[in-house]
Amino acid sequence: MKLILLDRDGVINHDSDDFIKSAQEWNAIPGSLEAIARLCHNGYHVIIVSNQPGLARKKFDIIALSEIHRKMIDHLAQYGGTIDAIFFCPHGPRQECECRKPKPGLLKTISNRLRISLVDVPFVGDKLSDIDAARAVGASPILVRTGKGQALVDAHQVPKNVFIYDDLAAVADDLISAK
């Protein structure tokens, strides 16, 4: 099975320091939905892996999060793409859970549920926490410059051996052309 793991905020949609709290605030990064659709059309199964501390901070509730995800799925369907699963951590950074990236708990759950290893599976993110979580399970971290990614590049904080792309569309193009 060809699998790709994607962070949500900053990779698929524009991020906000005040959280994406409603479906109205969710706006796709240009080209990201088309990129996911291309990946789907080329045999990839797409799984979202996202920290959602706004739940713990009561910035939004699970119903609002479901509406955000419904909008994302509906907009993606217009391009013929699908998301196979969405895994999220509802905890804040001080709760010290195992599922909040950079810890690998969500990724281990995915591995266990699918009964597959995540070694060398591409994980696209825009933060160090995405890179660290990917590395903890042997996945292949990919950084995009969208979201918080460009700031990491500018600050020379990207670890060695992490591929850097302009956006999810460039990642999809490269993965598809490599097959």
Give the full edge-to-edge strand order of the sheet including 44-51.
Answer: 85-89, 44-51, 2-6, 122-125, 140-144, 163-165
Tokens 């959280």 belong to 19
Domain carrying residue 58: 8-177
pTM confidence score: 0.97
Q: What percent of the chain has pLDDT over 70?
A: 99
Count of structural domains, the chain: 1
Q: Is residue 9 among the annotated active site residues?
A: yes
Tell me how far apart the alpha carbons of residues 58 and 103 are, in angstroms, rounded to a whole number. 22
Instruction: Judge whether 101 lies within some domain.
Output: yes
Instruction: Judge whether 2 lies within some domain.
Output: no
**pLDDT (average), residues 5-28:** 97
Residue 68 in 3-state DSSP? helix
Mean pLDDT of the chain: 97
Find the catalytic residue in 7, 15, 130, 167: 7
Q: Is residue 7 among the annotated active site residues?
A: yes
Instruction: Judge whether 126 lies within some domain.
Output: yes
| pLDDT tens-digit readout, 70-129 | 999 999 999 999 999 999 999 999 999 999 999 999 999 999 999 999 999 999 999 999
Instruction: Judge whether 169 lies within some domain.
Output: yes
Instruction: Judge whether 1 lies within some domain.
Output: no
Instruction: Judge whether 107 lies within some domain.
Output: yes
Find the catalytic residue in 9, 15, 126, 130: 9
Give me the CATH number covering residue 105. Answer: 3.40.50.1000
